[in-house]
Amino acid sequence: MKSIFEVGTLCALGLAACLAWGCGDDDGAGDGGTDTDTDTDADSDAGIDTEGHDFLIDGGCDPNTLVGAFDVASRDMGVVKYAVVSGSIADGVNWNTTALLQHDEGECKLYEFSMWSCSPACGGGEICNNESDCVPFPANLDWGTAIAAGLTTPVRMEPDTSFNYQFQDNPTTEVAELENPPFVPGERVVLWAEGGPETQEIFLDGMGVTPLEVETKDYTMYDDMDMEVTWVPSDDTEGEIFGQFTIDQHGASKMWVYCSWEDDGSGIIPANLVHELYVDLLEAPLLGFATAYLFRRTVDSIELPQGCVEFRVLSQIQLNLDFIPPTK
């Protein structure tokens, strides 16, 4: 995982180039990420000097430290398919949406939401954190201009009034500002933000992935049985297949299963985690419904004073997840 101190050395080689598009990583930045030299035409076209600098994809954040993320995404949501570059970074963790790890089965993990309790209760504009302390409710920060380069079309974004960033192909019109997918498989993608009055410059790495394909989107969940998920494997040298399974409570959820699989075409959700989701679904059959998403993605991250931020380059498919109710 990159630190802000490591990123701060990136622009010593050329401030003008950094202000235009960002710079390459310095040697040794990160802690176990992929280490390769990458200099692509897309980088050159964007004005990024990567020659001689390490390319590092360091993996994701601990969910309990996540304060923001930027995505370069190709999304297949069933009804619509579109490309988008978006993100935001807050000044703290939103404890109202943070779940605790309950079961770790290696490739798959079960997280469950817990309502944190503070006594006395927190006042307006405050939130109860995981140590039962009232802290200010997190707010998005101004990160200045943000640029995603190495794409088929480089994207330059300014924040809106709530300091959200978004550049999206509108699926309801014939005007396509982004190609879908917006990246080239195997080509380096970078996210650079200049920083604002209270924030600093950041630089994160990614790589274009092969668009995700599946032979079926339809799955049935059976209580206490392993569930196999399949996809068409790729020859990508970077990234992972990531599965997200939950019970959607009309925009809110209390339990999630996250799986990270090798890109070999199939992954298993263990029976005991399937059982937890199954019971959660049965407890609210009229209020919630099973939802499932499959991603091929790369994830980089950086530690900031506020917390951890991710940069994800991904191809996403929404799956149709059904379940067989008890017969008794």
What radius of gyration, in Å, describes the C-alpha atoms of the chain? 20
Between CA 56 and CA 39 the distance in angstroms is 13
Averaged pLDDT, 173-202: 85
pLDDT at 271: 95
Between CA 185 and CA 165 the distance in angstroms is 24
Sort strands 66-76 and 307-323 into parallel, antiparallel or unpaired: parallel
Please name every residue paired with 18 in a beta bridge, in sequence order, or none if there are none: none
When pLDDT is cut at 50, 70 and 90, the band that residue 218 belongs to is very high
Among candidates 191, 201, 236, 181, which has minimal Cα distance to 34? 236
CB of 267 closer than 8 Å to CB of 228: yes
Averaged pLDDT, 87-96: 92
Domain boundaries, given as residue ranges, for the chain: 2-69+137-208+299-311
Joined tokens for residue 159 = 């924040």
When pLDDT is cut at 50, 70 and 90, the band that residue 99 belongs to is confident
What is the torsional sign of CA 93, 87, 18, 210?
positive
pLDDT at 276: 87
Among 93-102, 233-242, 261-270, name the one with the lowest average pLDDT: 93-102
pLDDT at position 208 over 80: yes
Sort strands 36-37 and 54-55 into parallel, antiparallel or unpaired: antiparallel
DSSP secondary-structure letter at 296?
Answer: E
pTM: 0.81
Between CA 177 and CA 156 the distance in angstroms is 12
Span 50-75, pLDDT tens digits: 454 467 898 999 888 999 999 999 99
pLDDT at 247: 75
Span 166-182, pLDDT tens digits: 987 555 544 457 899 99
Averaged pLDDT, 3-9: 43
Cα 321 to its chain centre, rounded Å, is 22
pLDDT at 225: 92
Q: What is the DSSP string of 223-240?
A: TTS-EEEE------SS-E
pLDDT at 47: 46
Q: What is the DSSP string of 12-24?
A: GG-HHHHHHH--P
Three-class secondary structure of residue 187 per DSSP? coil
Between CA 176 and CA 182 the distance in angstroms is 11
More confident residue, 315 or 287: 315
> Which H or E element spans position 6?
helix 4-7
pLDDT at 206: 95
pLDDT at 268: 97
Among candidates 234, 262, 277, which has minimal Cα distance to 109? 277
DSSP secondary-structure letter at 122?
Answer: P
